Structure 1
Amino acid sequence: MKKVFKMLTLSAATAVFSLTLVGQSFAASSSFTDLDKVAAKDKIISLQQSGIVSGITTDLFAPQAAMSEAQGVQLLVNAFKLNLDLVRFVKEPKATDYFVKANNDSWYANALITAAVNNVDLPKDLDPNATLTREQFTHQLIRAIETFGKLPLINPVVVDIKDNDQINVEYSGSIQRAINYGVIKLGADGKMNPKAEITRADAAEEIFNAIEYLKAHQAPSDPTEVLTATDSVKLITETLGLVDSDIKIKIDPNAKVTRESFTNLLVQTLQTSGKLPMIKVVPVDIKDNDQIDILNSGSIQTAIAIGAVQLNADGKFDPKAEITRADATQIANNVVDYLKSHQVHSDPGATISATEGAKLITETLALVGADINIKIDPNAKVTRESFTNLLVQTLQTSGKLPMVKVVPVDIKDNDQIDILNSGAIQTAIALDIVELNADGTFNPKAEISRVDATQITTKAVEAVNRLATNK
C-alpha cells in the first residue's frame, strides 16, 4: 500500500446517509414501479423520500439484482460521506495500489481509494466485479457503522444460527452483532444463508435498519465533560483521521487530562505520524511558564505558533487546568484548519495551483498574504508566464523592486505570451530571474512545477539583494 498522510474529519455519527451508486442506482428520482413484490418496499421508499437513495429511472433499481463488490464499496463510501478532502498523497494514488484486481480507469476507482484510505474493512483481494454475499456485505456494513458511527462496544447475546457452520469465522462476530443491532433478521428457519448473493433490496434494507439503530443509540457528548486520556486519544484519532497506533505516547487511560498534557499529546502525535510540516517556532512569553512541565513546553510553543491554542488575556496558559471536551475539540479543529492551509507537497515535479504559487512567493520573499494584490483563481494551475507575472507584480507593488531599465529581448514564442504578462516577463529576464531556452523560447503556457517555481523565486531574492547592494 502506498504511503499517504491522512487528515480526515468524519461526522457519520449524526450525518444523514447519502447512498447513490455510480452507474446503477438503488432507487428512482420520483417514484418506484418495481417494488411491489419487495418486502422492504416501505423502507426503500422512506430512504428515497429522505434523499438517501436516488436514481435516474425506475428500471434501474432492479431490487432482486445482485450487488457487486464495487457497488457495495461505493454504497459504504457515500453512506458515511467518506472523502479525500484532507488527505495529502506522496504521489497520485491508483485503485490498484490497494486492490490488485481493480481497474484504475473504472467508475469505481475513486470509491476504492477513498474506502482504503479511510480504513474501511475490505479484503485486500477484493474483486470489484464479483458479486457480494450476504455475509460479506453485512460484515462490511457492521464494521463501518461501528467505526464511523462511533457505536459503543456491546457484548452481543449469542443467537443460534442454524447454518452457522457455513459462515466465515471472520464474519461471525459481525453477524452476531448485526442481529443484536436489528440490522438483519434470520429466516423463519433460523438460517442466515450467508453464501447467498445479496440483492440490492436486501442491502438497502440493511442500510435502513443500520440508520435506525444509529439514531436510537447516539450517546450525546457533554461539552463540559472533563476528558480522560482515553477520551483524548479517541478525540485526536477521530478528528485527525488517525488510528490508535499513531499515538506513540504512553498514557494512563483513566487519568484526567490537563491543558498542557492534551496539547502535548496532540502535537507529539502530529509530529510522530508525519502530519505536521516543519515550522520555525518563535517562542512567546507565557506568564505562567514556570507551571509548565519542561517536557511539554516545546509542544505548547508549537501549538501557539500554529494557532491551535491561545494564551488568555493575561498572557497565561493555565497548563494544569483540566480540559473539557469542548475545549479539546476546538483545539483539534484548529489543528485541522492549520493543516488544510499548510499542506506539504513532497513531489517537486508536481504542478502548483495559484494559491500554492502565492504562498511560495510570500514565504520566499518574506512577505505576507496582503502583498499579493493580483486577483487569482486559487485552484487554477499556474503557467510559466502567470507565475512570473505574479512574482514580478508582487515585487513591484510591495516596494521590493526599484525602477529598472529593461532592454527587451527577442522571445521566439512571444506571440504566445499574453500582452498583459509581457512586461513582467521582460523584467524577469533582465534581472536574471528567468532565462529563455536554448532555442530562445519561453514556453509561456507550460504549467510550472514546484521545483521550477522555487528556483525562480530564489533567483528573485538574489536579484532584490543585488539591487539593494548596488544602490
Structure 2
Amino acid sequence: MKIKAVLLLAVSMLLVFTLGQTVFAFNDTSKDPNKSKIESLEKQGIIKGEKGGKFNSNGKLTYAAGISMLVKAFDLNIDNIRFIKEPKVTDYYPNLKDNAWYADAFIIAQLNGLEVPKNVKANDEMTREQFAHHLFKSIMKQGDFAFIELYMTINDEKDVNKDYMDSIQKLLISKIATLDKKNNFYPKQKITRSVAAGWLYDGLEFVKETPTIPEVPAEPAPQPIQGLKLTVTSVDKNINKVTVTGQAPHPGYGLRVASISFVDGQAIIKVETVQPDPDKMYPQVITEVSATTYVDAAYKPVLASTEAHASGDAAVSSPALAS
C-alpha cells in the first residue's frame, strides 16, 4: 500500500508538472503586457525561451535571434532560386560564421530583401527602428498591401534613420507598432524581446486579416503591323495559296505565319510580327509586309485575329507548307 501511495504521488506530481508546462509556456511572463502574444508565438514554434523556462521579456534581441525569428514566422525561403554554387552566409555578411545555427536564416533574409546591414554581427542587439524595418520587409514579402495615405507625426523623428522611416510609418499606420504618450518612437533604443514579440504577432495578424491588392493584368503592347488582309489564290484544285499582308512603320519589320489550326472546315491562320534588327537603321516609311502559306482547298482560310501577334517560335501546326 505504501508503495502504491508513493507511485500515485509521483504520477500526480508528473501530471501537475506537465500541465503546468502546457498552460504556462514561460515562468516569467505573467505580468508582461504581451503575455498572450508571446505564448501564441511559442505554441506556433516561432519563439523559444532561455534557460530555466524563462522568456526574459526585458532582454535585448540579438540580430541572430531576430532574423531567425522573422524568417521562421513568415516562412521565408529561397526554394525558387537555383544556385551555381551553394551560397554561404559569408558571401553576404563577412562578420558571420558559415556553420553557425543562424547562417541559413541570414542567407534567406538577404535573398528576400530584408536589408540586413552588411557589417552585422550575430550578437549585435537590434534597435527598434532596425527591427521595424526588417519586420515590414518581411510583411511585404507576403503580398502587396494597401496603406492609407497618412503621415504619422513622430516627436523624435530627427533620430530616425531616413532609410527606415517608410517602414516605421507603415507599421504605425497599421497599428502594428505604436508611439508613447509623447509621440516618441525611440528608434535608436534597443528593442526588448517582449516588444519584438508583440510587433511580430501583430504583423502576422495583419497579414492574415488584410487582403492584398489584386494584380492588374498588363495591357497588351500595341502591335506595329496594322491593317492585316488575307487573299487566297488557287494553285490547283487541291491547294490554295494564302497571303497575309499588313502595313509596317518601316521596312525592318516582317510578318510570318505562326500557326494554322483546322476547325469546322476553316483554316485559322495566326501570324506574328518579325522584329527589326536592333543594330540597323531603317527609313521611317510605311511598308507593306506579307507572309504566305499553302492550305488544302477543302478548308476556308481565315485570320485568327485582326492584329499581328508578337514574334515567337511557334510552328505551323498543319500539313500545309509555309513560305
Return the offset for 1:108.
1.0
Tell me the residue number matched to 2:217: 228
Number of matched residues?
218
SS at match of 1:70: helix
Tell me the residue number matched to 1:66: 60
Distance 1:122 1:156, change over 3 A: farther
Return the offset for 1:161.
1.1
Residue type of the partner of 1:70? A
- Deviations for 1:429-454, whole angstroms, at most 9, x for unmatched residues? xxxxxxxxxxxxxxxxxxxxxxxxxx
Tell me the residue number matched to 2:318: none
- Deviations for 1:85-105, whole angstroms, at most 9, x for unmatched residues? 333211121111011211112
Q: Which protein is richer in strand relative to its size?
A: 2
Match of 2:110 among 116, 119, 132: 116
Residues 278-289 of structure 1 aligned to structure 2 (within 5 Å):
none
Residues 110-189 of structure 1 aligned to structure 2 (within 5 Å):
110-146=104-140, 148-189=141-182
Return the offset for 1:62.
1.5
- Deviations for 1:323-355, whole angstroms, at most 9, x for unmatched residues? xxxxxxxxxxxxxxxxxxxxxxxxxxxxxxxxx
Distance 1:51 1:105, change over 3 A: closer
Return the offset for 1:194.
0.9
Residues 38-437 of structure 1 aligned to structure 2 (within 5 Å):
38-54=32-48, 59-146=53-140, 148-219=141-212, 228-229=217-218, 290-294=269-273
Q: Which protein is richer in helix relative to its size?
A: 1
Q: Which runs of 5+ in 2 are unaligned?
A: 1-20, 223-257, 276-303, 306-323
Q: Is the 8 A contact 2:57 2:193 kept in 1?
A: yes
Tell me the residue number matched to 1:9: none
Aligned partners of 1:209, 1:251: CA distance in 2, in Å?
A: 42
Return the offset for 1:291.
2.0
Distance 1:131 1:218, change over 3 A: same
Aligned partners of 2:132, 2:174: CA distance in 1, in Å?
A: 12
SS at match of 1:290: strand
Larger Rg: 2
TM-score with structure 1 setting the length: 0.42
Residue type of the partner of 2:135? L
TM-score with structure 2 setting the length: 0.59
Tell me the residue number matched to 1:32: 26
Q: Which runs of 5+ in 1 are unaligned?
A: 1-27, 231-249, 253-282, 297-318, 321-471
Q: Is the 8 A contact 2:259 2:269 kept in 1?
A: no
Q: Percent identity?
A: 31
Distance 1:189 1:112, change over 3 A: same
Distance 1:151 1:58, change over 3 A: farther
Distance 1:284 1:89, change over 3 A: farther
Q: Is the 8 A contact 1:156 1:180 kept in 2?
A: no
Distance 1:151 1:87, change over 3 A: closer
Return the offset for 1:57.
6.4
Aligned partners of 2:54, 2:174: CA distance in 1, in Å?
A: 30
SS at match of 2:135: helix
Distance 1:111 1:49, change over 3 A: closer
Q: Is the 8 A contact 1:83 1:114 kept in 2?
A: yes
Segment of structure 1 superposing worse, 134-143 or 108-117: 108-117
